[in-house]
Amino acid sequence: ELGVDAMRYFIEKVIVQQLTDKAALIKEQGDPASFGSAQRISERIPSLRNELKEMEARLKSNPAIQGALPTSPKAQTLIDLLSKILQKNDYCGIVFVEQVALVSPLANLLNDSTALGKVGCGAVAGSGYQSERDRQEQLDKFRTGKIRLLAATAALEEGIDVRDCAIVVRFTAITTTKAHIQGSGRARHPHATVYYFENNPVTERKREVAMTATAKQSSLSLSMDELQQAVVSMSMTLENIHPYPFVTSTGPSNRGTSGEVNVFNCKQIFNQYCSITLGTSIQPKKQLYHFSNKPGDRRMLSAIRFPTPTGWRKICDNDCIKFWSGINLDQIFSEERSKNKSASDKEEMCFVYVVVVQLREFAYLDQHNSPESSVRFETKRRCPLNSDFSAAVSIKNMVFQSTKMS
């Protein structure tokens, strides 16, 4: 994305610093179970430094690296664009990237650019990759004008209001209309402009208009009676099945009622878990789902893989069928609550629900459905997103709360 100089900077400066910050963050959380993980990270950093030095030496002698440009054409285009705008105005701006790995190298590249002079660029990533103190320090400098640029991930799409922010650059591709709207909203200046390097701005604008128009249609809103019926359907219980934590014949489970999982919220919980533990945005249907053609050429979801501290795991359709065996799903998917859901939508929701329940049973998700801090670092290390789907290990003899209580 950025060129050889940025790659070398990432190897020399960023990797060790991110791991050092990660260890410090884990220790600050005060969880005894996680302290050992933080300690192991700290102990391995000296040997990692040596390995990175050896890697850098090998890269310097690599013909492909020797022939590569110090700054990529894409990055140079960004520098030229910002230079042209900032030399004429006192504006400030934010350059958004999807990958955390790009944030610090991009900020360093912009800071080193003679074309940009002393504009100054900070780096802001999510709370899981940067200390809150450093993050706030960068934001304060930006708000007060000490620096005029920020390189940031989606963590900055909400919550910052700088009146002089006239430039928003989408340097890498975005995949949702929500990201387009939130990122564009950071440009507060009356003459603000949003620049796209990968997406088509006309298409994104059309999607924004369509989403806004849909949200304003009162005919799509639920009446008070429909809302009450939806609440009833959401809370409808099937003993030892739905929602989670399960309700048994003797009453609710001893896990309490916080962080309920149901078929209507499980996809959001699952996507958030995967994004946080993998450290990047995901496209579940492309990267985590496996589909098979059934009789009649119907494309059906046959397996879902999910990242864990021990590697990729997967749950297959037979496991899902077994879990819901003998259950009339109409009891969960009331007509009022799911009138816009297709059969495929419902199958996916039921499938993902089983996966999320398993994540809770393994304690990878806490009682509030957030990833446990102790699993995040190891999960990302053991679960490269580009690994083959077939490498995921099937869960055997799934143990659910109902089994434990029977």
pLDDT at residue 404, as a whole number: 34
pLDDT at residue 401, as a whole number: 44
Structural domains in the chain plus CATH codes: 4-66 (no CATH), 73-208 (3.40.50.300), 227-405 (no CATH)
Q: If you write DSSP's letter for every residue of 326-359 in order, what string do you get? A: T--GGGTS-TTTSTT--HHHHHHHHHHHHHHHHH
pLDDT at residue 256, as a whole number: 44
pLDDT at residue 99, as a whole number: 86
Compute mean pLDDT per 10 residues along the chain, 406 residues long, and list them.
Answer: 91 88 74 74 91 89 86 94 88 88 94 89 78 82 90 69 76 71 57 81 77 72 61 56 71 54 91 89 90 76 94 92 86 74 89 94 89 83 88 65 36
| CA 265/CA 225 separation, integer angstroms | 21
Residue in the block written with tokens 């996680």:
34
Residue in the block written with tokens 């919220």:
265
For the chain, what is the radius of gyration of the CA atoms? 24
pLDDT at residue 222, as a whole number: 63
pLDDT at residue 252, as a whole number: 47
Q: Are 204 and 211 in contact (CB under 8 A)?
A: no
pLDDT at residue 289, as a whole number: 95
Name 397's Cβ contacts closer than 8 Å, sequence gap at least 6. Answer: none
Supply the DSSP symbol for 222: P
Q: Which two tokens stand for residue 133?
A: 């103190």
Q: How many CB atoms lie within 10 A of CB 47?
A: 9
pLDDT at residue 375, as a whole number: 85
Long-range contacts, 36-44 (Cβ 8 Å, 24+): 37/374, 37/377, 37/378, 41/377
The 10 Å CB-count burial string (b at 16+, else e) for 273-285 is bbbbbbbbbbebe
Compute the residue count for the chain.
406
pLDDT at residue 213, as a whole number: 77
Q: Is 19 helix (H, G, I), strand (E, B) or coil?
A: helix
Name 32's Cβ contacts closer than 8 Å, sequence gap at least 6. Answer: none
pLDDT at residue 405, as a whole number: 31
Supply the DSSP symbol for 322: H
